[in-house]
Structure 1
């Protein structure tokens, strides 16, 4: 008997109203490569090793990770509604599709294609990719024909993405190495701040620790993370405070002090900007009050 065909790639849309925080159950997939085309809103994934991954708006995030590695994934409260297209490419399908050409995949995608450990690749969301994502399916097709066409379109997107600018990537291997160094430096900075979230090192101290000047570190952090260092720190502080409140470990005032806010008014304003509502209203939502 002929071998069964591998599971085909598939897609799913996620939309969340503005100012609403929501769990993200399908952020990862077992034995598959996932691509999140995040059009609007921000998302965050936290891992059991203590690290985290943020996905800002207008970002494509390619991800290989097991759901077992994840501690939490959520759509963060925003002034804009969330909108994200998730593409899932099963490993069996990858092996069949890339048979004989795996070695020609660019350096950036190699760990995602053949690796077994967690790997994340974030890229700016291009107008071309958004146009592809929002392309309408011909309405006259029957259900089976639409499924066949959708699978073909997903294959086209995948192949186009992993081989896009391959020549430039090969010629720019030095740029790839520079990018990896920058990503490692930013991750180290994030780890340092997370370890001292109530009293994090200054920009000058962080720059001295990771071996670069402050202005370069600030610019690099923004390029890698898609947000400024101070904005990232505020978001992490508020998320940690919200977690302490939600689990009952701290009341609002205690949580504010725990994450380094000496002024409750400053904490309340930062909380409202991140969550869309002040702490008091957020607590009432937790308890189910209207």
Structure 2
């Protein structure tokens, strides 16, 4: 497919592109912070988008029930459910593959690399795609960004000078918000290695595997980081080591079972991932201050 388009908006309307069959509306603003926007009635499809010099911020405004939204960017494959207001970034200069099996209405903001550089000046990351990379790993909600995008769509319809000023302000604040969300600050051109989406992903993995022996490599693999990257990033972000955090989750599950059931201690130890009852009792007392039996008696009687 021809990838020599000036913008994503131009690609989307091209006669070679399957998207041309979708009902769509386009708006564009030049000024000192150029951008374009699309409102699209997206149908089920399996398409490849070329690498372009635009960062895409995609906001679902309506979604058919149980819509699967799957994408591949730089060999990273993601499968999720589309939800209203859970947005996604597509970094610039990367090819992406999309598989969608139901109807969605998407509001998409296309910000050229040149606009990022104009707004951020010397604070613009030299590798913009790398800086935004983590935000493309999952969908996420941001009330400010979703509100700003909707307002930008409304104000970009007007050609009044005052609305052009508003558009510049909105685009500037959206870019600043994205940089902050990606962990890029003044003079820091590397994204935070352990953002919130990685915390959620790790927590889900651990909760599903809590009865098993979970290694540092297992946790690193679950977050898509190397063992060394994971250990350093986790401790810096969470303020404790991965194993201390894991032990706390095991203890918390044990507390629920102690309080809400009559399950034997050896069974609780097994289901919470401790090697045996002795290991469980020792770890519990070190963390809580009393043995599991004493804690159960105190909390069941209350």
* Same fold flag (TM > 0.5): no
Higher-Rg member (1/2): 2
Give the alignment's TM-score, normalised by structure 2: 0.42
Give the alignment's TM-score, normalised by structure 1: 0.43
